[in-house]
């Protein structure tokens, strides 16, 4: 199983033309992007550090995870790359109702994520925990992310209010090794800390301490995750023809269909465990590639649930989407029983069938319905959703995203469009020296509301 980490079917991904011709047309720029990726990784350029994470286990991770297991609850404080990956791993590999298990059943603390600066959710988390028996992972590479710092201040205050004499003993920061507010806090208080590698950006950081610490606390085999990522890295680094390289095929499909007017990439996993994987991928793809006028919008759709909400649009709506199905080949199963009631005889076609096979047939049917309509479809199979294959899947999508950006002449590791919004927020919240940004934000908003309608 470890030899075949995934398989990509792409015949229907290039409708209306020969697949071979389409790939040959793309080969030159994909080879250029691939060469730039590998050279950047070897030179350890800024942004390329994620490439080495599979073979560089975070120091101190195991001991820190054991320390955290002594608490009743662990709260991950972070946003974007410091929360989406954590939720993705928990959802993919953990029990769906993890916090409802007893501590004996979990053999680990309850786990919460404080990401948005929403007082409803933050206060609800506080209502579910005893701060004195809780630990807080504060993850921000810069140490200045406003939403993360707001939640950090709130929970730090909650520790002090409930009589914890040394609140820093309940806190670990995951941040830049040398600079930033959180690094200064760690030096001042002596709280535990783990570094974020300098050349790793937030959305590529899930295989660092940012994502792996909370996973290890919940009992995830992070060593197996890293091994899976490392095996995937070696496979993607092999010299094979473009038609045999699933990363290049996926990048080629995304670029070609964008150029043909399909500027939405629908990722449709057929597993509840992978619902949050779509959210993690959404940030990775959008923030890495939405720049320079280029922008393939990621859209998550869960099979089979969203067959009953979005599929009508997908089949009969505008032809502006590329569809990527994500299908696990093995999973837990339930066999549907025979119920001897006359009123239920119409359901006899389900008797004795497995729920797993039903979900697989749903995926096949939906992909076929889209292909019949001429919609471009890619089919990605992964042997199982376990730590090893999830690690490989994570690295694969990081690689594809970086390859796509570099092949387009974009920098997949910066996010200039995000920075101005941050500056406006800093100014409006009274942070110096962003006063001018606050004035501009107010002026822009006045123009938005110049003509308004209401009920």
Catalytic residues: 287, 308, 422
Contact 87, 278 (CB under 8 A): no
CA dist 330 and 386 (Å) reads 10
User: Any idea which residue has 């089919």 for tokens?
Assistant: 379
Closest CA to 413 of 4, 28, 31, 41: 41
The number of beta carbons lying within 10 Å of the beta carbon of residue 204 is 27
In 260-332, which ranges are continuous DSSP H helix? Answer: 275-289, 311-316
Dihedral class, residue 18 (left if φ above 0, else alpha if ψ from -120 to 50, else beta): beta
CA dist 410 and 398 (Å) reads 15
The β-bridge relationship of strands 134-139 and 171-176 is parallel
Contact 177, 194 (CB under 8 A): no
Contact 405, 411 (CB under 8 A): yes
The number of beta carbons lying within 10 Å of the beta carbon of residue 22 is 18
């Amino acid at each position: 199983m470890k030899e075949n980490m995934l398989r990509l079917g792409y015949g229907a991904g290039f409708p209306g033309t020969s697949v071979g011709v389409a790939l040959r047309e793309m080969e030159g720029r994909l080879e250029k992007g691939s060469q730039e990726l590998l050279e950047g990784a070897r030179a350890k350029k800024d942004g390329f550090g994620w490439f080495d994470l599979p073979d560089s286990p975070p120091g101190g991770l195991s001991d820190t995870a054991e320390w955290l297991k002594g608490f009743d609850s662990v709260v991950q404080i972070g946003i974007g790359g410091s929360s989406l990956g954590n939720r993705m791993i928990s959802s993919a590999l953990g029990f769906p109702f993890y916090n409802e298990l007893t501590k004996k059943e979990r053999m680990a603390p309850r786990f919460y994520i404080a990401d948005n600066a929403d007082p409803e959710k933050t206060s609800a988390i506080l209502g579910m925990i005893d701060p004195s028996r809780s630990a807080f992972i504060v993850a921000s590479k810069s140490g200045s992310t406003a939403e993360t710092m707001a939640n950090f201040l709130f929970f730090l205050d909650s520790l002090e209010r409930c009589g914890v004499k040394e609140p820093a003993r309940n806190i670990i920061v995951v941040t830049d090794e040398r600079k930033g507010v959180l690094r200064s806090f760690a030096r001042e208080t002596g709280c535990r800390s783990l570094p974020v590698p300098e050349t790793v950006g937030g959305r590529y950081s899930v295989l660092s301490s940012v994502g792996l610490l909370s996973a290890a606390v919940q009992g995830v085999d992070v060593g197996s995750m890293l091994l899976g990522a490392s095996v995937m890295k070696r496979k993607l680094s092999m010299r094979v023809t473009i038609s045999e390289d699933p990363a290049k095929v996926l990048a080629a499909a995304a670029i070609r269909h964008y150029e043909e007017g399909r500027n939405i990439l629908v990722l449709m996993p057929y597993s509840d465990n992978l619902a949050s994987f779509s959210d993690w991928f959404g940030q990775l793809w959008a923030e890495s590639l939405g720049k320079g006028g280029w922008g393939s919008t990621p859209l998550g759709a869960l099979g089979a649930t969203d067959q009953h909400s979005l599929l009508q649009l997908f089949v009969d709506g505008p032809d502006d989407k590329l569809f990527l199905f994500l299908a696990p080949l093995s999973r837990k199963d339930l066999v549907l029983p025979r119920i001897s009631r006359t009123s239920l005889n119409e359901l006899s076609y389900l008797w004795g069938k497995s729920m797993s096979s039903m979900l697989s047939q749903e995926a096949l049917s939906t992909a076929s319905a889209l292909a019949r309509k001429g919609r471009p479809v890619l089919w990605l199979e992964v042997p199982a959703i376990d730590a090893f294959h999830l690690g490989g899947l994570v690295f694969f999508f990081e690689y594809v995203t970086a390859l796509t950006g570099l092949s387009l002449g974009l920098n997949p590791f910066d996010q200039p469009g995000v920075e101005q919004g941050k500056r406006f927020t800093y100014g409006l919240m009274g942070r110096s020296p962003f006063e001018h940004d606050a004035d501009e934000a107010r002026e822009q908003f006045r123009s938005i509301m110049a003509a308004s309608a209401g009920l």
